[in-house]
Amino acid sequence: MERGCFRHPVTILVGLGFPAEIQGAKEAYAWLNEWPPSKRDPTHAIALNACRAALAGEIDVETARGTLVAFARRANLLAPDAEAIAAASRVVRLTTLRPPEPAPQCDP
Protein backbone atom coordinates (compact mmCIF):
# COMPACT_ATOMS: atom_id res chain seq x y z
CA MET A 1 0.00 0.00 0.00
CA GLU A 2 1.33 3.40 -0.93
CA ARG A 3 2.18 5.65 2.00
CA GLY A 4 -0.70 8.02 2.63
CA CYS A 5 -3.39 5.73 1.16
CA PHE A 6 -6.44 4.85 3.23
CA ARG A 7 -7.31 1.17 3.74
CA HIS A 8 -10.81 2.05 2.56
CA PRO A 9 -11.64 5.19 0.58
CA VAL A 10 -13.93 7.83 2.05
CA THR A 11 -16.92 8.56 -0.15
CA ILE A 12 -18.13 12.14 0.00
CA LEU A 13 -20.88 13.97 -1.83
CA VAL A 14 -19.73 16.74 -4.16
CA GLY A 15 -21.44 19.16 -6.52
CA LEU A 16 -25.10 18.24 -6.77
CA GLY A 17 -24.69 15.28 -4.45
CA PHE A 18 -22.58 13.06 -6.66
CA PRO A 19 -20.35 10.60 -4.79
CA ALA A 20 -16.58 10.97 -5.05
CA GLU A 21 -13.97 8.76 -3.42
CA ILE A 22 -11.03 10.16 -1.53
CA GLN A 23 -8.32 7.50 -1.62
CA GLY A 24 -5.73 8.94 0.72
CA ALA A 25 -4.28 11.77 2.75
CA LYS A 26 -3.01 13.68 -0.29
CA GLU A 27 -6.44 13.82 -1.94
CA ALA A 28 -8.07 14.62 1.39
CA TYR A 29 -5.63 17.45 2.05
CA ALA A 30 -6.25 18.93 -1.41
CA TRP A 31 -10.03 18.70 -0.99
CA LEU A 32 -9.94 20.22 2.49
CA ASN A 33 -7.55 22.95 1.36
CA GLU A 34 -10.04 24.01 -1.34
CA TRP A 35 -12.87 24.27 1.19
CA PRO A 36 -14.22 27.86 1.30
CA PRO A 37 -12.64 29.79 4.19
CA SER A 38 -16.06 31.13 5.25
CA LYS A 39 -17.30 27.55 5.83
CA ARG A 40 -14.28 26.29 7.78
CA ASP A 41 -14.74 25.32 11.41
CA PRO A 42 -12.60 23.62 14.07
CA THR A 43 -13.46 20.17 12.67
CA HIS A 44 -12.12 21.27 9.29
CA ALA A 45 -8.91 22.57 10.87
CA ILE A 46 -8.38 19.29 12.72
CA ALA A 47 -8.90 17.23 9.54
CA LEU A 48 -6.64 19.49 7.47
CA ASN A 49 -3.86 19.37 10.08
CA ALA A 50 -4.22 15.60 10.46
CA CYS A 51 -3.89 15.05 6.70
CA ARG A 52 -0.83 17.30 6.62
CA ALA A 53 0.69 15.34 9.53
CA ALA A 54 -0.09 12.00 7.83
CA LEU A 55 1.67 13.16 4.66
CA ALA A 56 4.70 14.14 6.76
CA GLY A 57 4.66 10.72 8.44
CA GLU A 58 3.92 12.22 11.85
CA ILE A 59 0.64 10.35 12.42
CA ASP A 60 -1.00 7.21 11.08
CA VAL A 61 -2.94 7.72 7.86
CA GLU A 62 -6.00 5.99 9.35
CA THR A 63 -6.08 8.61 12.10
CA ALA A 64 -6.23 11.28 9.41
CA ARG A 65 -8.98 9.30 7.69
CA GLY A 66 -11.00 9.34 10.89
CA THR A 67 -10.78 13.12 11.13
CA LEU A 68 -11.82 13.43 7.47
CA VAL A 69 -14.85 11.22 8.12
CA ALA A 70 -15.77 13.34 11.16
CA PHE A 71 -15.54 16.55 9.13
CA ALA A 72 -17.52 15.15 6.19
CA ARG A 73 -20.21 13.83 8.54
CA ARG A 74 -20.46 17.17 10.36
CA ALA A 75 -20.68 19.02 7.02
CA ASN A 76 -23.36 16.52 5.90
CA LEU A 77 -21.17 15.41 2.98
CA LEU A 78 -20.41 11.84 4.00
CA ALA A 79 -22.03 9.48 1.52
CA PRO A 80 -23.99 6.62 3.01
CA ASP A 81 -22.11 3.34 3.13
CA ALA A 82 -23.16 1.36 0.05
CA GLU A 83 -22.83 -1.98 1.83
CA ALA A 84 -25.06 -0.82 4.68
CA ILE A 85 -27.67 0.40 2.21
CA ALA A 86 -27.58 -2.92 0.35
CA ALA A 87 -27.89 -4.87 3.60
CA ALA A 88 -30.81 -2.72 4.74
CA SER A 89 -32.63 -3.22 1.44
CA ARG A 90 -32.18 -7.00 1.77
CA VAL A 91 -33.71 -6.89 5.25
CA VAL A 92 -36.65 -4.84 4.00
CA ARG A 93 -37.21 -7.24 1.11
CA LEU A 94 -37.01 -10.27 3.36
CA THR A 95 -39.49 -8.86 5.84
CA THR A 96 -41.92 -7.71 3.15
CA LEU A 97 -41.79 -11.00 1.24
CA ARG A 98 -42.24 -13.20 4.28
CA PRO A 99 -45.80 -14.54 4.65
CA PRO A 100 -47.66 -13.19 7.64
CA GLU A 101 -47.44 -15.28 10.77
CA PRO A 102 -50.68 -16.93 11.87
CA ALA A 103 -52.50 -15.29 14.74
CA PRO A 104 -51.98 -17.09 18.03
CA GLN A 105 -54.80 -19.46 18.93
CA CYS A 106 -56.53 -18.74 22.22
CA ASP A 107 -58.34 -21.36 24.28
CA PRO A 108 -61.95 -20.36 25.07
Tell me whether residue 31 is in a domain. yes
Domain that holds residue 77: 5-97
Number of domains in the chain: 1
Tell me whether residue 106 is in a domain. no
pLDDT in tens, 41-88: 999 999 999 999 999 999 999 999 999 999 999 999 999 875 555 555
Q: Say if residue 1's pLDDT is above 50.
A: no
Residue with the larger pLDDT of the pair 102 and 18? 18
Residue with the larger pLDDT of the pair 89 and 58? 58
Mean pLDDT, range 27-37, rounded to an integer:
97
Tell me whether residue 104 is in a domain. no
Tell me whether residue 20 is in a domain. yes
Average pLDDT, the chain: 84
Tell me whether residue 86 is in a domain. yes
Tell me whether residue 107 is in a domain. no
Tell me whether residue 108 is in a domain. no
Cα 66 to chain centroid, rounded: 9
Tell me whether residue 32 is in a domain. yes
Residue with the larger pLDDT of the pair 82 and 29? 29
CA distance 2 to 62: 13
